[in-house]
Every structure is written in structure tokens, then in C-alpha cells.
């Protein structure tokens, strides 16, 4: 059932379809059969399969780099001389890994290229490939500097030389996200191809494009501006404490098409092909509820290929002001042979055409409206290259949905809007409406009633599933203490679930198990399974790459495979897709996310969810919402208008919930409009549940904070989180002992929290637990096809995690370890005098010094086998005791060895305890 060949094929196809060809003069690409290729750039030797941080930690069986793929291709003759020059230089300039979590360099030192080498190569080879690569990731953004968003001097020198001597030069950009592109004009390479970060099949997918097996059909999901400072968010991005979203709804092409067309180098939606397409026979229909557009696409070139048709709207400026283009939908054709045609259709509900009035200027405060005027629609192959296909007119402003204000800013600021100038729209600023309702009043007036405690009636969760008792009756059996334990997840690398995974939740204790509550397991995400004990998993193309393919069906199929892989590893929930809007090209985690556009983001998410849902597992859509910068992400407050929140930052999530059936959501690390999202009532209750009818559960990000309005955030503030329906806190070391020392139970003494609110979160969580495979696993009800997966030996089996250990009669073996500081690699040996069994506890004293929420894994090896990884965070600067459990037996009298390896962790002492009492 887990057909690895098919998995690899789909991933390869996704990479190929995600590649975006920006330039291809004189048909530089594809490389002809037998073509002689000289490949430049040190990064060809260190292909980035993904970015860094939690989203990059997939242990793969292999990674095919572009170079590997080229070298394995019979149809291409590689220039060996150039290869050897690099190989030699690399001996002295090995790959610099940095020191772990967010300290990796975002680029590698480039080899200074000699003119001789290039000159020679140009005589021998007809085409040059130049690879330029960047990575970036969690906890550290890119910067608008050389080696990050900009090219380094050595890279420029390389481009200059290669373009001087070769008439055909194709630049391959192995990046997570767009970078500065000024060099295209400067050096004029004849072809430019974004290949993104393609996961383990990356090189193969790119090869298919280079050789013409697949005609490029990827399209930009972001606008490439001429200069970083042209992006409307540039000025405020990267602030320490407060980030004012003054550009409002004018992000990406919404901004450029409205105010600054001349600043665009490559427009949103742009991407070339090896063939040509004609769009005709266009049919436009508006029935008052939705638009339906059909377009006949004909391949009128010489190669087979696919095309993406995009539909944009131009709404009347009205009183609100609108971007002059807004994407309403897209459709990709199947592969069309030369001369072949296909008619694609795009539909869009009027709700997605509407604008949100947060000021009342239309006369309809807090409503989605279609303002009176003409709505024009444009279809084409990018935002610029789209022609008018139809229109409708609204005579009198129409209210589409009436809501109440929510999530409004409390800080006054001016926001961008388009003012009609003499000829064109000009940027102007107007005051943003601020909150004018009493949030506390809103919260307390809608508190859920307490379900009276009944004591344990012997009902199990399965009785709720089978309709024997109601959820209320079930929850009524639990004390407030029991519920408090239920609302805390454990991790990372909990031994109660698949080893090395991110988190465990649900029936984590003996008592909770007695209620028949299963233990759910989740792990990162988004582009493959992260299992920190070294278990091998499939690494998928990154979010930007998948979105650039605009191929929903392909993503669905690919994530169906991931769904099976989740089942195989007994992981119920992936921590992904990441769906934050690419507000600024420097965001370190853009590689995990999809686009500057919420429709692309929402649709791609739905496709991934559909795929996983086929196997009854799901994805966690994250980070809800507006985590648009990594720098000081647990502090920086996003000040955003309600309109921008609704039209941009919520929209993709809304689509995922309403159309994709999402039922697992992760809140963010930071606050918006003064409230941490994990404790944001308007976000998690008012909008998510009341407006959208969401019935799944919400988890916090790992060790994230919550706050009461006006107070600093802290992770102890669970009362405000539970009250807002952030249903579970991720993560605690020990949920029963309340190891985070949260304020949940204490808050019941005040008006901060009620038992009813705790019961409400418990019900949300339990409802989710009933849907995921954890429930079937507990009941032994898994279908045979999934059961079979556990035993298949296909090279994707989890490693042997539990090694047998023996301990002394005393049960306590102190082992003083020397402090080793950063890069520790230490350990001890001990002789086992007695035989013991069951579970033993290993307790370490450790501390770190890094970014507050950095995840720093320490690997514990037992007799040379990795048995556990323990994650410390950057907040653990004081000596901290970490314990974990190991199961098993070991022969008496043998010597065992423990070793600890970590970067940035200092070890104090280590104690082993025998025979834990753990069920």
C-alpha cells in the first residue's frame, strides 16, 4: 500500500511542475539530447532539499541533488574539467553546517572562479548551468544583504564570467523563496529557472525540466519586485516589538498592480513554458451567486505541456477602495500535446469577491459587501497577461454576510488606500478603525454552562462514538483536575507515542486511559514526517514549490501517500501545512508556506488535506494567524486592521476550514493586536467557531505564550488560552505534574476561567480524538490494510528504539559528567550488576543558551544506538532536570555505554533510576 516508487514519482512530478521558468532566450532550455553541459556554482554540491528548523528535520533515505541527476543522465555530457576544479576546491572548503537551530549560514562560500576555467569550458560545452542556493528557516529570517536575499560578490563574479563566455547560460535557483533578481538584467543569463527546494526527489524533478521531459508549467506565487524596498511591508518588517501592517490589504500583486506596476520585474502568476498556448472560446457566467468562467486552452507550440489559467477580478473602487486585481481562482490543464485543447472552468462564490467593511464607510459596518459598480474579470496566464472576459454590475451595494467586529486593532495607525488621482490611483493613508467593543463583556456573556460533575459512571469514549452517551455525559464524569491534565499535551519525543515525534495528546495518564481516551500523536510537517530518533521518512518538496505547480490534483495524490506514511508510523496528525501569507520575501519560513495570495494558499491546503483525509489522518493548518516574521516571533505584536485580517490573513484558513474540512489548527507564537493568538478569544472562538462553525481542535505552538489583555505573554497563562478555546497546550514534559506550572486550576478561583470553559476544550479535543486513527488503535479496530503497514520491511521501518537496560540493586547510579559546553559529545560506561526489567528513568541536568523557542535536540546513544532525543529550548538557560523513560531488560554483568551528543547544550549530571511505575 505504501508504494515508495509511486511516492517518488509523484514527488518528482511535483518538483518538475513547481519549477518556474522566468527567462528562456533562444530556447536555451531544454538541453538537447547529447548536449554538453558545464555546471558552475559550489551549491550544485550541496543541494538544499528544504529550509531549516522544524519544517526541515526529515531524515531521508536519500536526496537526489540536481548534480546527481545530471550525472546519472545518459543524454547529457557533463564537463569533467569544471567538475574536478570544484571538487578540489571543496576539499578545503567543506559544507558549513553552522551550529544547529537557526545558526546555519543561509548560503555557502562560493568558489572564486578563474577566467581560464570558464573560457576553456565554453570551448568544450555549449551550455552552462549556474546554481545559486539559499536556505533559511525557523527562528531567523533572511536579510536584505549579500548572502541572503542578495547575491554575494563571488556569485556575481561567477555570473559575470559565465555569461561573458557562454551564449547559453541557465541559472538554477535552489531557494526556499524568491530572492533579489537585479542580476538578471545586469548579466543577462539566457535562462533563469526557480527550482526551489524539492525534497528528496528534487534533482530528478529538475532534470525532467532541464531535459524537456516535462515542459515547465510552474507559475510564481509571489511578485518579484525590482528591489527589496519596493515591497510595501519592507519598512516595518523585522521590528523587535511592534509591526504595523500599514500596507493593509495591499500585499504582493494587490499592491503592485494598484500602485506600482513599474516596480515589478516578474508579475504574480508568471512562468514560461517550452510550448505556447492560446486561450479562446471564453465563456463567462454570473448568476448572482457565483461566477463561472470556462476557457479553451490550445497548445499551439511544438512541445507537450500544461498551462495554468488564472482568473482575476477588478472590483469597483467604491467607498472602501480595492486592489485593481484580486485572484478569484485558477485551473491547470492536463498535459496537452501540440495541437490539443482542453476547456477548463473556474468558479468563484460571490463571498470571495466581497470586501469587508471595518469602518462603516459603505453604510454596512462589519459586513462583507459587494459595493455598487462594475466588476470586471480577466483571464490569462499571469496577473499582467490577463484579458477581460466578462463583467457584472451591482446596482446597489449588496451585503453578503453581516458579522460583528472582531480582532480589531487597539493601536491607532494610518493605513494605505487608493485615492483617485488625475489619471491613476495614488497611494494615500487614512486612519484605521480601532476596537470599539468590550472584549471582556463579549467573553463573559457567552460563557458555556458548567456540566455538573457526576463522578465516574463507567462510560468510555467509545460509548460517545457509538451514540450510547452524549459528550456531555462523558465529560461530566471527569474532575477538573483530570480535565486539566487532558488539556496539556506532552513532548517533544514523548515515549507514549511514536519515538521522536513532536507531541502526544489525549489519554496520557493511567487515569485518563481508564476513560478509554486514546493517545494521539502529531509531528512536523509540513514537508514530510519529522522523527527525531532518526526514523527515515519521505521528504517532500517545500510549500512554495508545491504551490508554484498550481496543481491541486497532484498535491492531493502526493499527500495521499503522506497519509499512508503517517498511518504506517502511527502518527495521527501532521503539523502542517504551513499557510501563512508571504507578506515579505525575507520571512525565514516562507519556504514552508505557499504564496502572497490567500486563494492559492487556501486551495493548496485543501488539496493536501483531501489527500491525507483519504487515510483518516489529517494536517494541522498553521500558524493561525499572521506569523509573518521569525525575528522575535514570541514578542513582536502585529498591528493589523480587521479588514486586512479578514481579507488576507484569515482567508486561506477560512477556505481550509470551510472547503477543506480542516479539523486541527495550531495557533502562533506571537500576538496580534495585543493578544497572543493562543489566548485570542476573537480569533479562536468568535471567528473560528462562531462564524465558521469549526468543530475540530486548536493546539498551541510548542511552549508558546498566552496573555491577558495588557499583560505580557507567558506560557503559564493557560487560563486565557482555555477560555479562548486554544484547546490543548503543547507541550509539557509531564501533564499530570503540571510541569509548566500553568495557572489553569488556580484560575478557577477567579473569574478568569470556568469549569465550563475547561469542559468545552475537553469536548473539542475528545471529538477530535474520536476521528483520528488513535481511537481505532486503542480499540484494536484498525483496518487490515493499515495494520499490514507496520510490518512491511521496505527500508522505511522505524529504527529499534528501545534497547534493553539493566540497573543496580540500589536503583540509582549517579554519573558525574563534565560540563562540555557547546557541541557536547560526552558519556559514561557502567557495568550492570543485576538484572532488571520494565522501565527505567534516566535523569539529566542540562542547560542551553539560545533563542527562546529554539529546539535543541540532544541525542542519547546506548551502546552506539540512538535511543532517545531530548529537546531543550533556548529558554532553558538555568540548570534543568530532564527525565525520560527507557523500556527493557539487559543481561547482567555487561558493560553498557551511554553517550550524549548535542550542539549548544551543557550537561551537568546524569542519574539512572530503576523500574519506574508507569503504565
Where in the sequence numbering do the catalytic residues fall? 701
Residue 24 bridge partners (DSSP)? 191
Dist. CA 486–CA 461, nearest whole Å: 13
Q: How far is the CB of 725 from ligand BGC (least distance, A)?
A: 19
Nearer to ligand BGC, 352 or 505 (CB): 505
Q: Cis link prior to 30 (omega < 30° from 0)?
A: yes
Binding mask 8-47 for ligand BGC (x = CB under 6 A): ----------------------------------------
3-class state of residue 860 by DSSP: strand
Nearer to ligand BGC, 215 or 634 (CB): 634
Contacts of 424 (CB under 8 A, 6+ apart): none
Residue 283 contacts residue 669 (beta carbons within 8 Å): no
Nearer to ligand BGC, 268 or 559 (CB): 559
Dist. CA 705–CA 321, nearest whole Å: 36
Q: Which of 141, 248, 701, 851 binds ligand BGC (CB under 6 A)?
A: 701
DSSP H stretches of helix in 650-783? 651-658, 681, 718-724, 744-747, 755-771, 773-779
Q: Is 702 in the site for ligand BGC (CB under 6 A)?
A: yes
Residue 621 contacts residue 692 (beta carbons within 8 Å): no
Nearer to ligand BGC, 55 or 329 (CB): 55
3-class state of residue 17 by DSSP: helix
Q: Which of 132, 178, 562, 575 binds ligand BGC (CB under 6 A)?
A: 575
Nearer to ligand BGC, 191 or 666 (CB): 666
Cell matching residue 5: 516508487
Nearer to ligand BGC, 168 or 633 (CB): 633
Residue 562 contacts residue 614 (beta carbons within 8 Å): no
Dist. CA 87–CA 504, nearest whole Å: 45
Nearer to ligand BGC, 58 or 770 (CB): 58
**How many other β-carbons are positioned within 10 Å of the β-carbon of residue 373?**
15
Distance of alpha carbon 799 from its chain centroid, rounded? 26
Q: DSSP letter string over 100-129?
A: STT-S-SS-PPPPPPHHHHHHHHHH-SEEE
Dist. CA 80–CA 86, nearest whole Å: 10
Binding mask 343-372 for ligand BGC (x = CB under 6 A): ------------------------------
Nearer to ligand BGC, 327 or 870 (CB): 870
Q: How far is the CB of 405 from ligand BGC (least distance, A)?
A: 29
Q: How far is the CB of 490 from ligand BGC (least distance, A)?
A: 13
Q: Which of 13, 43, 44, 54 binds ligand BGC (CB under 6 A)?
A: 54
Residue 132 contacts residue 151 (beta carbons within 8 Å): yes
Q: Distances from the Cα of 116 to the Cαs of 122, 159, 255, 862, in angstroms? A: 10, 15, 46, 53
Task: For helices 153-165 and 115-124, give the axis angle rounded to 10 degrees.
Answer: 40
Dist. CA 360–CA 50, nearest whole Å: 45
Q: Which of 502, 507, 528, 598 binds ligand BGC (CB under 6 A)?
A: 502
Nearer to ligand BGC, 459 or 702 (CB): 702
In the DSSP assignment, the letter for residue 689 is: I
Beta 414-420 vs 398-402: how paired, if at all?
unpaired
Q: How far is the CB of 627 from ligand BGC (least distance, A)?
A: 8
Dist. CA 94–CA 457, nearest whole Å: 65
Residue 523 bridge partners (DSSP)? 574
Q: How far is the CB of 592 from ligand BGC (least distance, A)?
A: 8
Q: How far is the CB of 524 from ligand BGC (least distance, A)?
A: 5
Q: Is 121 in the site for ligand BGC (CB under 6 A)?
A: no
Residue 386 contacts residue 312 (beta carbons within 8 Å): yes
Nearer to ligand BGC, 216 or 499 (CB): 499
Q: How far is the CB of 730 from ligand BGC (least distance, A)?
A: 7
Q: What is the largest CA-CA distance in the chain?
A: 91
Q: How far is the CB of 622 from ligand BGC (least distance, A)?
A: 6
Nearer to ligand BGC, 673 or 855 (CB): 855
Q: Is 665 in the site for ligand BGC (CB under 6 A)?
A: no
Dist. CA 57–CA 491, nearest whole Å: 16
Dist. CA 591–CA 343, nearest whole Å: 32
In the DSSP assignment, the letter for residue 263 is: G
Buried/exposed 801-839: b ≥16 CB within 10 Å, e otherwise: bbbbbbbeeeeebeeebeeeeeebeebeebebeeebeeb
Q: How far is the CB of 317 from ligand BGC (least distance, A)?
A: 38
Backbone phi, psi, residue 78, to 5°: -85, 145
Question: How many residues belong to the site for ligand BGC (CB under 6 A)?
Answer: 11
Residue 726 contacts residue 758 (beta carbons within 8 Å): no
Evaluated on CA atoms 83, 84, 88, 89, the torsion sign reads negative
Q: Is 524 in the site for ligand BGC (CB under 6 A)?
A: yes
**How many other β-carbons are positioned within 10 Å of the β-carbon of residue 250?**
27
Q: DSSP letter string over 458-472?
A: ---HHHHHTTSS-HH
Q: Is 743 in the site for ligand BGC (CB under 6 A)?
A: no
Q: How far is the CB of 272 from ligand BGC (least distance, A)?
A: 34
Exposed, middle or buried, 708 (CB in 10 Å: 0-12/13-18/19+)? Answer: middle
Could you say which residues in the range 823-862 bind ligand BGC, by CB under 6 A? Answer: 853, 855
Q: How far is the CB of 416 from ligand BGC (least distance, A)?
A: 29
Q: How far is the CB of 905 from ligand BGC (least distance, A)?
A: 17
Nearer to ligand BGC, 617 or 853 (CB): 853
**How many other β-carbons are positioned within 10 Å of the β-carbon of residue 81?**
13
Nearer to ligand BGC, 313 or 856 (CB): 856
Dist. CA 597–CA 326, nearest whole Å: 9
Q: How far is the CB of 486 from ligand BGC (least distance, A)?
A: 20
Could you say which residues in the range 779-798 bind ligand BGC, by CB under 6 A? Answer: none
* Owner of C-alpha cell 488556580: 746
Could you say which residues in the range 135-154 bind ligand BGC, by CB under 6 A? Answer: 138
3-class state of residue 230 by DSSP: helix
**How many other β-carbons are positioned within 10 Å of the β-carbon of residue 339?**
10
Q: Is 238 in the site for ligand BGC (CB under 6 A)?
A: no
Dist. CA 558–CA 556, nearest whole Å: 5
Q: Is 622 in the site for ligand BGC (CB under 6 A)?
A: yes
Which residues would be at the binding site for ligand BGC (CB under 6 A)? 54, 138, 502, 524-525, 575, 622, 701-702, 853, 855
Amino acid at each position: 500500500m505504501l508504494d515508495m516508487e509511486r511516492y517518488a514519482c509523484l514527488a518528482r512530478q511535483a518538483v518538475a511542475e513547481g519549477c518556474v521558468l522566468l527567462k528562456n532566450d533562444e530556447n536555451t532550455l531544454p538541453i538537447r539530447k547529447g548536449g554538453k553541459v558545464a555546471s558552475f556554482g559550489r551549491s550544485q554540491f550541496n543541494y538544499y532539499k528544504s529550509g531549516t528548523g522544524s519544517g526541515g528535520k526529515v531524515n531521508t533515505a536519500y536526496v537526489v541533488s540536481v548534480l546527481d541527476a545530471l550525472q546519472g543522465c545518459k543524454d547529457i555530457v557533463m564537463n569533467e574539467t569544471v567538475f574536478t576544479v570544484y571538487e578540489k576546491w571543496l576539499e578545503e572548503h567543506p559544507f558549513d553546517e553552522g551550529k544547529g537551530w537557526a545558526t546555519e549560514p543561509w548560503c555557502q562560500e562560493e568558489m572564486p572562479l578563474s577566467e581560464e576555467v570558464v573560457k576553456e569550458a565554453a570551448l568544450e560545452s555549449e551550455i552552462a548551468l549556474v546554481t545559486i542556493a539559499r536556505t533559511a528557516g525557523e527562528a531567523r529570517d533572511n536579510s536584505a544583504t549579500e548572502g541572503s536575499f542578495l547575491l554575494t560578490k563571488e556569485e556575481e563574479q561567477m555570473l559575470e564570467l559565465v555569461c561573458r563566455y557562454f551564449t547559453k547560460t541557465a541559472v538554477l535557483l535552489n531557494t526556499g523563496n524568491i530572492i533579489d533578481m537585479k542580476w538578471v538584467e545586469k548579466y543577462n543569463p539566457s535562462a533563469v529557472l526557480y527550482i526551489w527546494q524539492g525534497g528528496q526527489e528534487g534533482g530528478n524533478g529538475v532534470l525532467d525540466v532541464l531535459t524537456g521531459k516535462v515542459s515547465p508549467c510552474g507559475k510564481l506565487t509571489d511578485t518579484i519586485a525590482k528591489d527589496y524596498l519596493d515591497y510595501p511591508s519592507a519598512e516595518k518588517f523585522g521590528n523587535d516589538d511592534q509591526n504595523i501592517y500599514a500596507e493593509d490589504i495591499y500585499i504582493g500583486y494587490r499592491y503592485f498592480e494598484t500602485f506600482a506596476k513599474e516596480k515589478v520585474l516578474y508579475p504574480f502568476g508568471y512562468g514560461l513554458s517550452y510550448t505556447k498556448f492560446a486561450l479562446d472560446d471564453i465563456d463567462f457566467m454570473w448568476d448572482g451567486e457565483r461566477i463561472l468562467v470556462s476557457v479553451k486552452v490550445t497548445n499551439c507550440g511544438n512541445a507537450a505541456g500544461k498551462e495554468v489559467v488564472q482568473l482575476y477580478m477588478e472590483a469597483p473602487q467604491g467607498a472602501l477602495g480595492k486592489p485593481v486585481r484580486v485572484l478569484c481562482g485558477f485551473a491547470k490543464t492536463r498535459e496537452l500535446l501540440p495541437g490539443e485543447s482542453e476547456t477548463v472552468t473556474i468558479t468563484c462564490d460571490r463571498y470571495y469577491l466581497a470586501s469587508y467593511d471595518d469602518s462603516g464607510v459603505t453604510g454596512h459596518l462589519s459586513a462583507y459587501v459587494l459595493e455598487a459598480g462594475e466588476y470586471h474579470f480577466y483571464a490569462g496566464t499571469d496577473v499582467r497577461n490577463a484579458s477581460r472576459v466578462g463583467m457584472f454590475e451591482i446596482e446597489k451595494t449588496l451585503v453578503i454576510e453581516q458579522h460583528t467586529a472582531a480582532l480589531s486593532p487597539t493601536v491607532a495607525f494610518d493605513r494605505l488606500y487608493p485615492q483617485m488621482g488625475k489619471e491613476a490611483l495614488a497611494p494615500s493613508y487614512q486612519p484605521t478603525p480601532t476596537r470599539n467593543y468590550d472584549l471582556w463583556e463579549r467573553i463573559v456573556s457567552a460563557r458555556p454552562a458548567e456540566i455538573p460533575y457526576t463522578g465516574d459512571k463507567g462510560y468510555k469514549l467509545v460509548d460517545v462514538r457509538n451514540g450510547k452517551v452524549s459528550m456531555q455525559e462523558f465529560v461530566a464524569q471527569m474532575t477538573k483536575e483530570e480535565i486539566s491534565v487532558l488539556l496539556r499535551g506532552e513532548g517533544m519525543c514523548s515515549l507514549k507515542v511514536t519515538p521522536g515525534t513532536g507531541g502526544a495528546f489525549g489519554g496520557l495518564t493511567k487515569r485518563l486511559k481508564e476513560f478509554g481516551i486514546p493517545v494521539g500523536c502529531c509531528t512536523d510537517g509540513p514537508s514530510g514526517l519529522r522523527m527525531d530518533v532518526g526514523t527515515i521518512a519521505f521528504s517532500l518538496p517545500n510549500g512554495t514549490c508545491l504551490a508554484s505547480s498550481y496543481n491541486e490534483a497532484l498535491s492531493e495524490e502526493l499527500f495521499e501517500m503522506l497519509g499512508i506514511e503517517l498511518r504506517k508510523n502511527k502518527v495521527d496528525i501532521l503539523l502542517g501545512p504551513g499557510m501563512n501569507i508571504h507578506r515579505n520575501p525575507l520571512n525565514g519560513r516562507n519556504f514552508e508556506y505557499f504564496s502572497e495570495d490567500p486563494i492559492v494558499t487556501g486551495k493548496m491546503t485543501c488539496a493536501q488535506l483531501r489527500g491525507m483525509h483519504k487515510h483518516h489522518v489529517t494536517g494541522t493548518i498553521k500558524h493561525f494567524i499572521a506569523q509573518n516574521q521569525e525575528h522575535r516571533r514570541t514578542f513582536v505584536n502585529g498591528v493589523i486592521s480587521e479588514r486586512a485580517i479578514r481579507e488576507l490573513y484569515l482567508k486561506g484558513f477560512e477556505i481550509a476550514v470551510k472547503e477543506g474540512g480542516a479539523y486541527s489548527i495550531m495557533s502562533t507564537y506571537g500576538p496580534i493586536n495585543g493578544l497572543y493568538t493562543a489566548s485570542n478569544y476573537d480569533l479562536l472562538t468568535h471567528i473560528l467557531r462562531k462564524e465558521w462553525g469549526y468543530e475540530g481542535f486548536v493546539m498551541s505552538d510548542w511552549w508558546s505564550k498566552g496573555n491577558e489583555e495588557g499583560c505580557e505573554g507567558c506560557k503559564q497563562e493557560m487560563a486565557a488560552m482555555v477560555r479562548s478555546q486554544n484547546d490543548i497546550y503543547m507541550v509539557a514534559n509531564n501533564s499530570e505534574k503540571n510541569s509548566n506550572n500553568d495557572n489553569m486550576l488556580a484560575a478557577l478561583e477567579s473569574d478568569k476561567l470556568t469549569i465550563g470553559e475547561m469542559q468545552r476544550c475537553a469536548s473539542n479535543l475528545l471529538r477530535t480524538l474520536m476521528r483520528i486513527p488513535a481511537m481505532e488503535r486503542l480499540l484494536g479496530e484498525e483496518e487490515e490494510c493499515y495494520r499490514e503497514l507496520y510490518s512491511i520491511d521496505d527500508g522505511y521501518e522505524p529504527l529499534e528504539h528501545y534497547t534493553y537496560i539493566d540497573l543496580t540493586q540500589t536503583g540509582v547510579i549517579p554519573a558525574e559528567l563534565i560540563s562540555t559546553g557547546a557541541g557536547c559529545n560526552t558519556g559514561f560506561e557502567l557495568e550492570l550488576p543485576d538484572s532488571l526489567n520494565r522501565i527505567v528513568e534516566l535523569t539529566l541536568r542540562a542547560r542551553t543558551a539560545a533563542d527562546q523557542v529554539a529546539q535543541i535536540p540532544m541525542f542519547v546513544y546506548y551502546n552506539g544506538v540512538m535511543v532517545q532525543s531530548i529537546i531543550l529550548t533556548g529558554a532553558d538557560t538555568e540548570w534543568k532536570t530532564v527525565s525520560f523513560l527507557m523500556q527493557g531488560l539487559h543481561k547482567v554483568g555487561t558493560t553498557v555505554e551511554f553517550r550524549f551528543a548535542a550542539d549548544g547544550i551543557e550537561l551537568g549530571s546524569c542519574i539512572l533510576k530503576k523500574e519506574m511505575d508507569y503504565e
